[in-house]
Structure 1
Amino acid sequence: MVDSIAPQANSSGAHGVGAGPQVLSTTNELEVIVGPLLNYRRMSTENGQGTWYGSVLVVTTPGQTAPELNLSHVGPTDPNEETVPSAPGSRSFHGEKLYEDTNKAFWRFTIDLPFQQYEARWEYKIKGLTYVDEAKSQKPQIFVVPSITQSMRILFHSCNGFSVGTDIDAWSGPALWNDVLRMHAQKPFHVMIGGGDQIYNDGVRVDGPLRPWTDIGNPHKRREFPFDEKMRAECDEYYFNNYVRWYGQAPFSHANGQIPQVNIWDDHDIIDGFGSYTDHFMRCAVFRGIGGVAHKYYLLFQHHQAPPKSTFTTDAPNTVNVGAEGTTPADPAQLKNTFVMTNDETDSSYIIGSKPGPYVEECSRNIYTQLGARIAFVGIDARTERTRHQINYPETYKQIFSRLDKEFSANKDLKHLVLLLGVPIAYPRLQWLENIFSSPIIAPIKFLNKRFGFGGSIFNKFDGNVDLLDDLDDHYTAHQHKHERRDLIHMLQGFSKKHSVRVTILGGDVHLAAIGRFYSKPKLGIPAEQDFRYMPNIISSAITNKPPPTAVANLLAKRNKIHHLDHDTDETLLEIFDRDPGHGDKTNEATNGATNGTTNGNGKVGKKTADSNHATMPSRNYAIIAESNPTPTKTSSALAPAPATASAPATDGEALVHTSAPPDAKANARKPIHVGENSAGTSHPAASGLTATGLCGQYGLDVTLRVEISPSDKEGHTDGYGFSIPALEVGTAYTDHGSRW
């Protein structure tokens, strides 16, 4: 309970406007609305010792005193592992208030802990925590940290929500999080990477405060519609309530407190298609306004960072002009009865863009962090700076690659870079479809839609264009992004070659599973293990949203050509789907009639794809990435490399990478092109996601796509498809067929 009894000081110690709500709690309990949410930040290693850094967030009723979190070392995950006598004890951390108004407060606990010589379990509990929802109760939260010698076991997901109009019950809600928790219980995840669309806020235009604006038929009037303080406050309430509903919903809420998160956003975290509509429409007041509101809650819920003091509104002159660092100065109306932490120190894991985005008027928030001993991660914020013709500023790429050069030059133990782009970059071309949607033949249909509502479901409510066009414009393979796409791949190739590091790309957004790859043209005769151009693109989405129709997935598979990025680089999807999930081999399937994982009259799972489609899977899914030769935890040196294995024999104390035969120039590159891709699919050793394969040499990675069998299964059981990725060794130039690199 809270009473209006006393003023609170703002972050500078002053009272009055901006000092926060004039309430104090009348209970000794910490009344929590949603949380805890656990984030991973970064790690450091010095003199064989290491420290793990992260944060915990809870959202409470206002007026609370600073809460306290207790963190305890529980012991090794392996009961046979012996703990050292100096195992750490318990520690307490005090909460920092990031934001507070008359309805809620955000509290962050910035935590750190020492890495152990073994994979360790840690427990945290927040003192006095009770839930506003009396049906919930606090349970000790346990998370797992790898040993100082291990790389992290990674969960990758995207599209964690439902599009407007989806029958949520028909898709059993967020059922795949049950499967995530089952896998986590068998073999813990050390981090989960959110690839964008962690939440779907599109309902703000259907059953939220933007509905009157959306219903305006005249595009000019819609562009000129004001976004005043009243609408801002209504949108603020909508976005907050939607986050509370989604982040507090089981089983997703259970994962939030047990698996540390690292997140990058995409359009649905704001609103569908944000950034990819025409420039003059994107600059309208409503888009500027909701961009600011969405960014506020993105920072709070997904990054545990204090938001800007105020965001754009048409009736506040202070917010209309954008400064070098965003919306400044603050608007007194928005700060009334509101507290915002000032000078929240930016964590060193962030690479902050040099100037605000064009529509989200804040600087981009890219991430660099190390995922254990040998894996580094970069997440590119591909939404804040996005326009229809640009994904990121050139200055941002320069910042990111400068940071990568610095980190990899300083740490020669790093063998892999996992790069998150959100949207796939190795993906079938759909320019022919873009041309149709943008061509003059659409104009008469668009006119009939505008005057009589003809074809209403085809056209979006924002700018009147074909509804799919913004999705196509989002793709790196869209014609307007092809030069930026090519330049990015070339920068990655140069980085990979310079540091002898394998680059693996993550992408979501497209609501199906696939594996794309860039690689040197077969005529160059370069084995994958020595090919700096070999970069797999793990495409995993959606973990919650419904997949596209079977016909769309089959069409994409038919468009799976071998494309030529340049004179030396080809790209195509790997044919990894040897069968539909829950079925036998595609050539022997006997089910009929059902689609998208529904059941037929015999109770069997229906077919999801055509028998000829081995490249795209329209079924909900998530991905697991882990080292295929995990380092034993007992070692004399905290940073010692893994011992040699049968696939990586020792010679003079150094491990050798198993090398595949040079690719056959006449072979079909849609099929496996190296030893780690052999038998890719359900029969691959990595398919289970639980057992290290030992493939691809000492520093290889195993990848698993866990694919939903049936959406009617509320427990979300999955089938696994696997392949492995070799580390890169380019220390000695490879020569073949007269080619040298």
Structure 2
Amino acid sequence: MLELHDDWDTQALYQDEVNNCNSCDEKSPIRDSGIICGPNLRLVGVNYAQNLYRASMLLVCRGVQCPEVSFIRGPSNSKQVGADTNNISRGQLTSTLFYVDNGIDFYRYTIEFPMESYEQLVKYTIDGEHKPHYRFFVPSKTSNFNVMSYSCNGFSLNVDTTKFQGSMWFDVLNKHAKTHYHVMLGGGDQIYSDGINIFCKGFKKWLAEKNAVKKYRAQLTSELRAELEQFYLNEYLEWYGYGYWKGATLQSKTTQKCFPIAMATIPSINIWDDHDIIDGFGSYSHSFQSTEVFSGVGKAAYKYYVLFQHHVSIEEKGPYLEDESWLLGHKDGDYIEEKSHSVLTRLGPTNALLGLDCRTERKLKQIISWDTYDLVFRRLEQEVAKGKIDHLMVMLGVPIAYPRMVWLESIFSSRALAPVKFLAKKGIIARGLVNSFNGDIELLDDLNDHWCARHHKKERNYLIAKLQDFGAKNGVRVTILSGDVHLSCVGRFRSKLHSHHLTSGKDEDVKKVLNEPEKDVRLMFNVISSAIVNTPPPNAMGALLQKRSGIHHFDHNTDEDMVPLFQTDVDGSNRTNFSFMNRRNWSDLIPIENVMESDYLRGLYQVSLGDYCYSGLVSGTGLQTMQGDTEHDGNKKQDVTYPVTSKGLIASIHAEKDTLNKDSATEAYAVVIPELQKKETTISHAGIKHVSPDV
């Protein structure tokens, strides 16, 4: 009989998986029968009014009957298990066959448990078989969740994957064994599907069509639709089932075996981004996006995105559309022709998550429609009315507090480049300069994707102002989580530091901003963690971003800048690009209360309630704290401290030390995020540019 407690040494269990990360052959690993993908856990939501934890498990099978899933649950700490074992329960999960695809069965298992006064460990078996990672943790009903966050979970088509011998997912599993992550947040690009350009023959033929009229008028035949769907089905089965992926060259292949293991032991909540579909989807011209074939790519990707990442089918109309955790868009997106599916749920009694779908409604000049924004902020007010929220985490696929690149955008979209683009498209010069879709400069879709792109400035400023208003009115600290850019950094909005002041009153305002950040209603961090698998950009990109990362004025009362988090490199040397770390990475956000209750976390950060901590390397000495009653004098406007408060968080970015090291060791860089200990019914946004009139 399965016992609740045993030793779980991830270093010993999964070192073989890491050692074989790049030893796969060309043959697909998908089995002919049995469980061909899963188990894959998803956190559906938490209802504290009903004291109910809700999750689901996905198993994808072929040629076998519905597997039986049994579980045992009880206190995660073996010392809390009573002699009479009354706090240990056993049972079976209820299954639903919710989709069938050419003989492949999709089973969703319902997980619903009451929250207890202690953290629970849930272990499960599938048809009587138990593996060490068939377990997950449910926090106590009074504790907020330990959160792990990641993005860009795959390689670009031409990357030489042999240069990355370790697996960041191995590091995640090692940290999880000690930290107990209750949820992992996929911030977009959970799968890289750009190979559709190569491996889907019908789509490849369409891309190669030279006659623009034929290309734009081509119909999506039933054969091509089936081929597109088969591509995405196989992509998910290989990547989610086995961690297997291949790109354009012999060196562009990998087997990240620790990724499926992580999905079986940490429940996930996901949003999607362009690579979950195809590079740049949503940021090309309306005429190109509206073609039957390219629109069909988006529809096929969406179908399998919700199947594998949300455990639902687009054909389910009841539970699919009505679950309380969904926040549906106002109307169908123009190209995918489905409503956007954002997620809103509590991640603890006083913490919440808003995962915004920034791709389904996306167009060249729109990310999310104004009507959908109205629905989002109406739901947020309803959520606050249910009970106090100390911290709201907002997932956006693309960073919103990030250096501007509008000058590059202007150059790449200039009409003066038309002759060069024509010659590149014909292959006469610089063959890789333009993309194979619509002949634009290859990097232009990435720039158009950014919130700071000229088409999105108005929408960006509207969203930031609305989040500030919501937080100030309700006393909620808002932290934004983003990915996409293949490096890590932390953007920041905060009250303006007046540098040319004539009165002592302004001096006091500056001191309050620097020394009382817990009362700053404009303080919002954008934790940017990317990529957990893909290759980072060169040092030159980090240097360019550092030069572009000065202090910007969002409005007359709000500044935005980058936190100087990476002043020390992973080897202890000083860094000049101190706000940007171009190493593979992932992040976590741990409630301060949980840090104080964990011997491991308390030893890692070495902080106490009331400490004021600098942002930076944790290493073996913990976070650096301000000594004595010292105050910031304003000379160091960026390198300031934040207080360790009972309802706050510690956000850490775990950066890879050595790509050739199979141990996949990382160094942690942390910033303390205090809760908001103040409310303001209204705050001014005077001086804001490019914004909707209702802000």
Aligned-partner Cα distance in 2 for 1:71–1:82 = 17
State the partner residue of 1:58: 59
Aligned counterpart for 1:241 among listed residues 223, 234, 238: 234
Cα 1:466–1:731 shift into 2, 3 Å? closer
| Cα offsets for 1:132-180 (capped at 9, x unmatched) | xxxxx9666110111111111000000001111111222237x100000
* Match for residue 149 of structure 1 among 142, 165, 169: 142
State percent identity of aligned pairs: 39
Matched, 1:511 2:486: yes
Amino acid at match of 1:271: I
Equivalent in the alignment of 1:97: 97
Contact 1:507 1:537 in 2 (8 A): yes
Shift in CA distance, 716/646, structure 1 to aligned 2, threshold 3 Å: closer
Using the alignment, how far apart are the partners of 2:457 and 2:578 within structure 1? 26
Please say if residues 147 and 633 of structure 1, whose CA atoms lie closer than 8 Å, have aligned partners that are also in contact. no
Q: Structure 2 residue aligned with 1:709, among 657, 669, 677?
A: 657
Q: 1:498 aligns with which of 459, 473, 483?
A: 473
CA distance in 1, matches of 2:455, 2:680: 38
- Distance in 1 of aligned mates of 2:631 and 2:373: 33
Q: Would you say 1:196 and 2:188 are equivalent positions? A: yes
1:38 equivalent in structure 2: 41
Normalising to structure 1: TM-score of the pair? 0.77
1:236 to partner: Cα distance? 1.0
2:52, 2:112 within 8 Å by CA — same for their partners in 1? yes
Q: Which residue of 2 aligns with 1:626?
A: 590
The 1:729–1:97 alpha-carbon spacing in structure 2 relative to 1, beyond 3 Å, is same
Q: Which of 604, 607, 610 is matched with 1:647 structurally?
A: 610
Matched-pair contact (CA < 8 Å) for 1:648–1:698: no
* TM alignment of 1:711-726, pairs within 5 A: 711-726=659-674
Higher helix fraction (1 or 2): 2
1:77 aligns with 2:76: yes
What are the within-5 Å matches in structure 2 for residues 362-381 of structure 1? 362-381=338-357
**Aligned partner of 2:197 among 205, 214, 219:** 205
Aligned-residue RMSD, C-alpha? 2.7
Residue matched to 1:576:
565
Alignment partner of 2:306 out of 294, 299, 306: 299
Secondary structure at 1:702 match in 2: strand
Query: Which of these residues, 216, 223, 231, is aligned with residue 230 of structure 1?
Result: 223
Mapping 1:349-368, distance limit 5 Å: 349-368=325-344
Instruction: Name the residue aligned to 1:283.
Output: 290
* Structure 1 pair 661–565 and aligned structure 2 pair: CA distance change class (3 A): farther
TM-score normalised per structure 2? 0.82
User: How many residues are paired up?
Assistant: 600
Contact 1:124-1:140 within 8 A present in 2 as well: no
Structure 2 counterpart of 1:245, which letter? E
Conserved? CA contact 2:391–2:478, under 8 Å: yes
Within the candidate set 428, 441, 445, 2:416 is matched to: 441
How far did 1:255 drift? 0.3
1:19 match: none
> Judging changes above 3 Å, is the alpha-carbon distance between structure 1 residues 69 and 561 closer, same or farther for their aligned structure 2 residues?
same
Residue 114 of structure 2: aligned partner: 114
- Counterpart of 2:362 in structure 1 is 386
SS at match of 2:80: coil
Counterparts of 2:320 and 2:473, CA distance in 1 = 36
The answer to whether the 8 A contact 1:30-1:67 is kept is: no
Give, in angstroms, the shift of residue 632 of structure 1: 8.0
C-alpha deviations, 1:620-667, integer Å up to 9, x for none?
A: 000010112338889xxxxxxxxxx75299xxxxxxxx9999865x53
Task: Give the conservation status (yes or no) of the 8 Å contact 1:155–1:624.
Answer: yes
Measured after TM superposition, the shift of residue 342 of structure 1 is: 7.1
Change (3 A) 1:50 1:233: same
* SS of equivalent to 1:221: helix
Partner of 1:270: 277
Instruction: Provide, for residues 301-330 of structure 1, a one-character-per-residue CA deviation record: whole Å limited to 9, x for no partner.
Output: 00001123xxxxxxxxxxxxxxxxxxxxxx
For structure 2, list consecutive stretches of 5 or more residues without a partner in the other structure: 1-31, 244-256, 499-508, 599-607, 613-626, 684-695
What is the CA distance between 1:343 and its match in structure 2? 6.5
Instruction: Return 158-167 or 88-97, whichever deviates more.
Output: 88-97
Note the C-alpha offset of 1:261.
0.3
Q: What is the Cα deviation at residue 464 of structure 1?
A: 0.4
2:133 touches 2:261 (CA, 8 Å); kept in 1? no
2:620 matched residue in structure 1? none
SS of residue in 1 equivalent to 2:545: helix
Alpha-carbon deviations, 1:327-362, whole Å to 9, x = none?
A: xxxxxxxxxxxxx78764632100011210011110
Matched-pair contact (CA < 8 Å) for 2:424–2:433: no
Aligned to 2:377: 401
- Matched residue type, 1:33: I
